[in-house]
């Protein structure tokens, strides 16, 4: 199974990269774009056929390593490969 994981800064935590991009978009004329958040995208294969088990593992990976839950939030989806 393939896990597709997104990690972003929590809402409410200043994302200076997002702000810089927002200003750049604004200067390009995309004045209706706002709340830009920059994050990380990770993909990994889990050798597991049981979706619930795979999900529990991916959640644990996110909590222990892939995200720092003090400042970041994560979401993931699992797809059959």
Partner 1 sequence: MNIGVIVFPGSNCDHDCEHVFKVVLGQKVTMVWHKETSLAGLDGVILPGGFSYGDYLRTGAIARFSPVMRAIKEFAKSGGLVIGVCNGFQILLEAGLLPGAMLRNRSLHFVCKDVHVRVENAATPFTGACMPGQVLKIPIAHAEGNYYTDPVTLAGLQANAQIVFRYCNPDGRVTPEANPNGSLDNIAGIRSAEGNVLGMMPHPERSAENLLGNEDGRLLFASMLESLKKRPLKMVSA
Radius of gyration of the chain measured on its C-alpha atoms: 16
Instruction: Give min distance, CB of 9 to partner 1, in A.
Output: 7
Cβ-based nearer residue to partner 1, 13 or 56: 13
Give the binding site for partner 1 (CB under 8 A).
9, 13-14, 16-17, 20, 40, 65-66, 68, 70-71
Instruction: Give min distance, CB of 15 to partner 1, in A.
Output: 8
CA distances 14 to 5, 20, 26, Å, are: 21, 11, 18
């Amino acid at each position: 199974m393939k896990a597709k994981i997104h990690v972003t800064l929590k809402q409410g935590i200043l994302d200076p990269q997002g702000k810089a991009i927002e200003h750049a978009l604004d200067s390009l004329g995309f004045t209706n774009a706002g709340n830009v958040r920059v994050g990380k995208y990770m993909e990994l294969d889990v050798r597991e056929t049981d979706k619930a088990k795979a999900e529990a593992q991916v959640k644990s990976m996110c909590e222990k390593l892939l995200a720092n839950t003090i400042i970041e939030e994560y979401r993931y989806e699992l797809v059959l490969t």
